Amino acid sequence: MKSEKLPLKVDIYDTTLRDGTQGEGISFSVEDKIRIAKRLDDFGVNYIEGGWPGSNQKDEEFFARAAQLTWKNAKIAAFGSTRRAKFKVGDDPNIQALINSKAPVCTIFGKTWDLHVRTALSIDLPENLVLIRESVHYLKSLGREVIYDAEHFFDGFKANADYAIATLKAAQEAGAKILVLCDTNGGTLTTELISIIQYVHRQMDAEWGIHTHNDSDMAVANTLAAVQLGCGHVQGTINGYGERCGNANLCSVIPALKLKMAHDLLPDINLAQLTDLSRYISEEANLPHRHDFPYVGQSAFAHKGGIHVSAIRKNSLTYEHIAPESVGNKQRVLISDLSGQGNILSKAENYGLDLQHLTPKTQEIVQKLKAMEHLGYQFEAAEGSFELLIKKSLEQSKSYFELAGFRVIIEKRNGMPYSEAAIKVIVDGQTEHTAAEGVGPVNALNNALRKALEKFYPSLGEMHLTDYKVRVLDEKQATEAKVRVLIESADGTDEWGTVGVSDNIIEASWQALVDSFTYKLMKDEKNNIQKK
């Protein structure tokens, strides 16, 4: 039987634009969906499910626009259900919406679980088989490629195996190209899934697909197990977005199939685009990109423990299951009180500094780092401050300005808070005294410092703060507690983080601000030297 062999080629069916949008907090405009679809097509997926044209005007507009575009790799699929019992198949609005979408592929779901047939549809079991047959046959007769999603298949099988298989046969006999086994509730364990698929494959031969949800945190494992059993069509979403706990995460499924299981998929893909694609979809969804995503997360190949870093400096395979570059990610070495000399040496190499012959100095930096972390500093997200720390320790740093003093005023006018900062700095012997307002004291201080320095360093106009975080280090001290301020900055080319710690939030913010401005000026000076 075909299903007893491992598929030489696995087709990837992306449903981010339909199933993914059912995730809490996710909403894409038509423009968003077109842009995402183009990125998915460039990436090389085989199918892009654009939405449910019978459910909303936005999806109808997407399909109208998609029909006018040329797609290099993917087929556009429209999603819908079998006809409703009260309509003839040619008159059913949902079926007609699928046809009007002009999508070359129609994916329809039908009820597999007898509980749903009796309760949700309120019809008898034989009538449901008629709905499936007529819907698939009608779409097939109009020249559409039909993919049949067997909704709630695994729950349906456990409740009534004979009927669940009968629904599959009805779709197959009517002309469905692929039968997709769906774990719609996401509650099936991998051992159950394997047993059920093996049983089904003994009963009938077909082109099989798999669609899993993550309610038991098994979606990726279940998908990979299904492929091992012969399912050559894989459905999922980028970043695992989807209703409740999400769908199978294609950013984990694809590299596992390609790099670990040696399946032939996505022939036109550059797998190194995967991390960029994952982050792009996060941005379009207006959601933070999770650091702990496997393969594509910022922490996926991040090393913190000194023993780990020492090992990967000799051979990255010691603590990395794949080469990060293969999925477009990169190795990162974190700096903390767990760091050893290996962490410092690795970081120094990134900064173009050779510490190999400065072992005593390296140890001095390690001890200084640990002492500062004990005081509350955190350098994992503040690599700008850490680079400055190394260069100061090596006496390779430069002071671009000197603070003569600043004053921050906070008052309330007409019920609204008001902040103003006055600052005096000295640059190359020249004193600059200026003031600026802001929406808060830190914003006012940032504006005043920028205003004072841009006269001497115009490139600071390129720089802006992208994030500001305050962490109370000992909440038991109440308002006297020490705080840590982390600032993230960017200039259109690079991003960097800086840190400050004090029992005064303004002072902690000032430390982080000074490091941020200093890092920008140091970086610009280095780039100018390299250009010369």
Q: Which helix (H) or strand (E) holds 384?
A: helix 383-393
Spatial distance between the Cα atoms of 134 and 525, rounded to a whole number of angstroms: 71
Determine whether domain 401-456 maps to CATH 3.30.160.740: yes
Spatial distance between the Cα atoms of 400 and 430, rounded to a whole number of angstroms: 12
The rounded mean pLDDT for the chain is 89
For residue 362, give both structure tokens: 């390296």
CA angle (213, 218, 222) in 5-degree steps: 85
Spatial distance between the Cα atoms of 524 and 457, rounded to a whole number of angstroms: 10
pLDDT value, residue 51: 97
Phi and psi (nearest 5°) for 496? -150, 155
The CA-to-CA distance between both ends of the chain, in Å, stands at 68
Q: Which helix (H) or strand (E) holds 98?
A: helix 93-100
For residue 408, give both structure tokens: 């921050």
pLDDT digits (tens, 9 = 90+) for 81-92: 999 999 999 999
pLDDT value, residue 3: 43
> Average pLDDT, stretch 59-84?
96
Spatial distance between the Cα atoms of 96 and 83, rounded to a whole number of angstroms: 10
With a cut of 70, say whether residue 80 has pLDDT above it: yes
pLDDT value, residue 224: 97
pLDDT value, residue 4: 46
With a cut of 70, say whether residue 452 has pLDDT above it: yes
Query: pLDDT band at 316, cuts 50/70/90?
Result: confident
Strand segments, DSSP code E, in 255-334 are 264-265, 302-303, 332-333
pLDDT digits (tens, 9 = 90+) for 207-260: 999 999 999 999 999 999 999 999 999 999 999 999 999 999 999 999 999 999
Neighbour-count burial of 321, counting CB atoms closer than 10 A to its CB (0-12 exposed, 13-18 middle, 19+ buried): exposed
Spatial distance between the Cα atoms of 275 and 34, rounded to a whole number of angstroms: 20
Three-class SS of residue 349? helix
Domain 2-269 fold: TIM Barrel (3.20.20)
pLDDT digits (tens, 9 = 90+) for 5-25: 554 689 999 999 999 999 999
Task: Please give, one letter per residue, the 3-state secondary structure of 10-51.
Answer: EEEEECCCCCHHHCCCCCCCHHHHHHHHHHHHHHCCCEEEEE
Q: Which residues pair with 110 in a beta bridge?
A: 150
Least confident piece of the model among 17-31, 190-204, 260-274, 309-323: 260-274
pLDDT digits (tens, 9 = 90+) for 325-340: 999 998 877 655 445 5
Polymer length of the chain: 532
- pTM for this prediction: 0.71
Spatial distance between the Cα atoms of 279 and 297, rounded to a whole number of angstroms: 9
Answer with the residue of higher pLDDT: 265 or 174: 174
pLDDT digits (tens, 9 = 90+) for 479-518: 667 898 999 999 988 889 899 999 999 999 999 999 999 9
Answer with the residue of higher pLDDT: 354 or 371: 371
Spatial distance between the Cα atoms of 272 and 296, rounded to a whole number of angstroms: 10
CA angle (348, 351, 352) in 5-degree steps: 90
Helix 274-285 and helix 30-43, axial crossing angle in degrees, nearest 10: 170
Q: Do 391 and 507 contact (CB within 8 A), yes or no?
A: no
pLDDT value, residue 340: 54
pLDDT value, residue 269: 62
Query: pLDDT band at 404, cuts 50/70/90?
Result: very high
For residue 465, give both structure tokens: 């703060």
Give the start-to-end residue ranges of the domains of the chain.
2-269, 401-456
pLDDT value, residue 412: 87
pLDDT value, residue 419: 94
With a cut of 70, say whether residue 380 has pLDDT above it: no
Query: pLDDT band at 469, cuts 50/70/90?
Result: confident
Which residue, among 167, 36, 45, 29, has the nearest Cα to 105 in the 3D structure? 45
